[in-house]
């Protein structure tokens, strides 16, 4: 094994983020970070006939924006990696038909964002490819349809529910130096703390995030103080509170820690219950909001821990518990 | 007076359901099914008929009355057809509601678009 | 931290929701629904000069129609957000469950979408209504034979 490896973590030397494209839905666009995103849509249909096609359109637009920034064509990319929340990774796979290069479909539920970035980074670090596009998407209505109820069904959401973010993110990773690099990553293991409430993702996922953060810090001998900001993917207000309390009870000094689900929306004004979730949640906040701040050198080093609840509605109905996972990537400004 | 009675009973049934919903992990599907079974059980001793007499529409509008009507139709038909009446008369009283729901749902699905 | 400890911690921090407000809302919305139903019922009784029993199906059809329309217009789920059980317990909730399922699967076509998914949520009510009525009906029928 190469000297880059430290337990479950890897330190990377030549993986850079050179471009990104972010598209989002109406609620995200009206939220506090709305002005940071490249493109927002007024409605959930995005001019398409079904919600699934709308999600695909959002993803295609984000890919176009991402490539256009670097004046690239899709055939210049060596490999595409993508994931979303749907069965059979519907959105990314159906979009991949239009791509002239190899495609890797991954599933990590809401952690897909960090997982796709991590796999892409490892490919580049290993010298197998030069340029990789990592893309993820999620759509509130498609996720509601698959995991919960029909969108027009009148049901009162439980207080612990999170709101699936609508958006798509494409990120171009290269081995050519640019202002922000992927400096380290940690792949998480699947954790199950016997939580079985599909309406309470924050509570189910917090232990997975805890596990990954602790592993990351131990492997690389770091602490919260080494980062300007640590964000978890979509634990939302409730999960964020639990995780913070967990870490404090284990005598960790928790500073500068936040959650993407709380950043993406105005929790008090917008109707999002505990906060945002979904692949797009961590993706939009990281690539839309934190990446520009890193480029402006307002932050030096940021740790993104995207959490995913790998739940299947079928297994939930069979009274099984929810397996969860979290993957971390550390982004750093290049001096 | 009828309006107040209807208000009170319908409100009370909904309040009960809300208490179950808030204090358990049961979904609306579970709760409505439970209430339908309760409705047909209450009809077993003609209790529900009394409720309808007192509360009028208040007792007719909650989903419990669906169970009651199914049972009621079935029992009425047994007088004429014996045991077969249970299947034959089951939908006698609820046919209107179900047919209307199917028809209007179909039309709505054809005309409208989900908004989210 | 083991699972037991974790559950304890999570319970401590659990957001409370608004149980009292939800209960009150359900009572109010459900009650108003009952009063409206009473109004419709009396309206049909007066124009058709019929008794309550005959006017009941008319009242139910009217409410089902209104619920389906509100679902199509995207209003019903916004009311239900506040009303909770106040909208899923009345017969309108049954109409909403059917029309929302049908509307939701519109994109999959007439047969595989609307046709086969209409009863996705509402079917359970019909199933258990019939099963329980049949069981209890048989019991009562047997009793009436001997008494």
Do A222 and A164 have their domain in common?
no
HSE-CB at B113 with a 13 A cutoff on CA atoms is 9
What is the C-alpha separation between A273 and C105, in angstroms, rounded? 26
User: A202, A264, A323: which is closest to C15 by C-alpha?
Assistant: A202
Do A37 and A133 have their domain in common?
yes
| Residues contacting C1, CB < 8 A, separation 6+ | A207, A246, A249, A250, C9
pLDDT tens track for B4-47: 999 999 999 999 999 999 998 899 999 999 999 999 999 888 89
Mean local confidence (pLDDT), A34-49 = 93
H or E element: which one contains A291? helix A291-295
CATH code for the domain of A303: 3.40.47.40
Q: Is residue B73 part of a domain?
A: yes
Interchain CB distance below 8 Å, C129 and B9 = no
Interchain CB distance below 8 Å, A154 and C88 = yes
Q: Give residue A1's pLDDT.
A: 42
What is the C-alpha separation between B46 and B61, in angstroms, rounded? 18
Do A245 and A267 have their domain in common?
yes
| Residues contacting A78, CB < 8 A, separation 6+ | A101, A102, A129, A130, A131, A132
Whether the CA torsion A56, A59, A65, A70 is positive or negative: it is negative
Q: Give me the number of domains chain B comprises.
A: 1
pLDDT tens track for A263-306: 999 988 898 889 999 999 999 999 999 999 999 999 999 999 99
What is the C-alpha separation between B41 and A78, in angstroms, rounded? 67
Q: How many CB pairs under 8 A join A and B?
A: 20
Do A219 and A145 have their domain in common?
no
Boundary residue ending a domain (A156, A174, A192): A174
Q: Give me the number of domains chain A comprises.
A: 2
Q: How far is C117 from chain A (nearest CA, A)?
A: 10
Nearest to B6 among C35, C101, C138 (CB): C35
Q: Is residue B116 part of a domain?
A: no
Boundary residue ending a domain (A174, A200, A235): A174
Domain spans of chain C, in order of start: 3-121
Boundary residue ending a domain (A135, A157, A174): A174
Q: Which of A51, A52, A154 to mutate to test the interface with C (most CBs of C within 10 A)?
A: A154
Interchain CB distance below 8 Å, B104 and C130 = no
Do A234 and A282 have their domain in common?
yes
Contact in structure between A322 and A199 (CB atoms under 8 Å): no
SS3 C104: helix
pLDDT tens track for C14-31: 888 788 999 999 999 999
End-to-end CA distance of chain B: 40
Nearest to C106 among B61, B70, B109 (CB): B109
A91: containing domain: 5-174
ipTM of the complex: 0.92
Interchain CB distance below 8 Å, A51 and C107 = yes
H or E element: which one contains A317? helix A313-317
Nearest to A153 among C3, C72, C100 (CB): C100
Chain C residues with CB-CB distance to B8 below 8 A: 31, 34
Nearest to C15 among A50, A159, A246 (CB): A159
pLDDT tens track for B88-107: 999 999 999 999 999 999 99
Q: How far is A182 from chain B (nearest CA, A)?
A: 37
Q: How far is B103 from chain A (nearest CA, A)?
A: 18
Q: How many CB pairs under 8 A join A and C?
A: 91
Do A97 and A57 have their domain in common?
yes
Do A168 and A235 have their domain in common?
no
């Amino acid at each position: 094994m190469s000297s880059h490896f430290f337990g479950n973590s890897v330190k990377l030397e030549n993986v850079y983020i050179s471009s990104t494209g972010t598209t989002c839905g109406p609620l995200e666009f009206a939220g506090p970070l709305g002005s940071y995103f490249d493109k927002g849509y007024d409605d959930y249909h995005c001019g398409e006939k079904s919600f699934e096609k709308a999600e695909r359109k959002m993803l295609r637009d984000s890919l176009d924006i991402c490539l256009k920034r670097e004046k690239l064509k899709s055939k210049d990319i060596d490999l595409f990696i993508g994931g979303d929340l749907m069965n059979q990774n519907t959105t990314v796979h159906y979009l991949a038909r239009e791509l002239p290069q190899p495609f890797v479909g991954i599933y990590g539920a809401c952690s897909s964002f960090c997982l796709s970035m991590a796999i892409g980074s490892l490919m580049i670090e290993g010298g197998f490819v030069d340029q990789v596009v990592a893309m993820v998407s999620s759509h509130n209505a498609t996720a509601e349809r698959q995991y919960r109820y029909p969108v027009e069904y009148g049901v009162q959401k439980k207080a612990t529910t999170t709101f699936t973010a609508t958006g798509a993110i494409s990120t171009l990773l290269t081995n050519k130096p640019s202002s922000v690099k992927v400096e380290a990553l940690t792949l998480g293991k699947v954790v199950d703390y016997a939580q079985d409430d599909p309406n309470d993702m924050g509570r189910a996922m917090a232990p997975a995030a805890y596990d990954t953060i602790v592993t990351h810090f131990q492997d690389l001998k770091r602490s919260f103080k080494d980062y300007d900001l640590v964000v978890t993917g979509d634990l939302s207000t409730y999960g964020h509170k639990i995780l913070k309390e967990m870490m404090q009870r284990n005598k960790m000094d928790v500073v500068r820690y936040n959650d993407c689900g709380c950043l993406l929306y105005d929790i008090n004004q917008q109707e999002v219950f505990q906060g945002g979730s979904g692949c797009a949640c961590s993706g939009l906040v990281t690539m839309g909001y934190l990446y520009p701040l890193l480029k402006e050198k307002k932050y030096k080093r940021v740790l993104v821990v995207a959490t995913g609840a790998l739940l299947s509605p079928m297994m939930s109905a069979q009274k099984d518990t929810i397996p969860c996972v979290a993957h971390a990537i550390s982004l750093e400004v290049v001096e | 007076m009828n309006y107040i009675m209807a208000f009170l009973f319908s409100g009370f049934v909904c309040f009960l359901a809300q208490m179950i919903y808030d204090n358990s992990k049961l979904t609306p599907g579970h709760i409505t099914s439970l209430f339908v079974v309760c409705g047909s059980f209450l009809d077993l001793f003609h209790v529900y008929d009394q409720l309808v007499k007192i509360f009028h529409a208040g007792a007719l509008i909650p989903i419990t009355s669906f169970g009651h009507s199914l049972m009621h139709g079935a029992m009425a038909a047994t007088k004429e057809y014996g045991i077969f009446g249970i299947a034959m008369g089951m939908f006698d009283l609820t046919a209107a509601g179900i047919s209307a729901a199917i028809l209007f749902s179909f039309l709505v699905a054809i005309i409208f678009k989900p908004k989210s | 931290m083991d699972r037991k400890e974790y559950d304890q911690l999570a319970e401590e921090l659990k957001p409370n929701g608004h149980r009292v407000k939800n209960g009150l809302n359900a009572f109010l919305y459900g009650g108003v629904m009952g009063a409206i139903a009473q109004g419709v019922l009396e309206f049909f009784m007066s124009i058709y000069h019929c008794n309550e029993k005959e006017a009941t199906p008319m009242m139910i059809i009217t409410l089902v129609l209104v619920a389906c329309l509100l679902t199509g217009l995207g209003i019903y789920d916004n009311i239900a957000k506040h009303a909770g059980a106040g909208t899923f317990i009345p017969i309108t909730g049954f109409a909403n469950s059917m029309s929302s399922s049908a509307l939701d699967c519109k994109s999959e076509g007439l047969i595989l979408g609307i046709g086969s998914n209409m009863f996705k949520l509402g079917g359970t009510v019909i199933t258990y209504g019939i099963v329980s009525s049949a069981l209890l009906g048989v019991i009562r029928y047997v009793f009436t034979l001997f008494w």
